[in-house]
Amino acid sequence: MDDDDLSSMSRDELATEVKRLRAGIRAHRDASGHELCWHHPALWGLLPEQVAPTIAVPTWDRFMRGCVAYRASLDVQAPDAPRSGDDYAPGGD
Is residue 82 within 8 Å of residue 27, measured between CB atoms?
Answer: no
Domain interval for residue 25: 4-77
The answer to whether residue 19 sits within a structural domain is: yes
Considering Cα of 80, then 41, then 92, then 89, what sign does the dihedral take?
Answer: negative
The answer to whether residue 44 sits within a structural domain is: yes
Question: What's the rounded Cα separation, in Å, for the pair 64 and 41?
Answer: 21
The answer to whether residue 92 sits within a structural domain is: no
The answer to whether residue 29 sits within a structural domain is: yes
The model carries a pTM of: 0.66
The answer to whether residue 93 sits within a structural domain is: no
The answer to whether residue 90 sits within a structural domain is: no
Q: What is the pLDDT of residues 44-62, one digit of tens each?
A: 889 888 887 788 889 999 9
The answer to whether residue 91 sits within a structural domain is: no
- Number of structural domains, the chain? 1
Q: What is the pLDDT of residues 13-40, one digit of tens each?
A: 999 999 999 999 998 888 887 777 777 8
The answer to whether residue 85 sits within a structural domain is: no
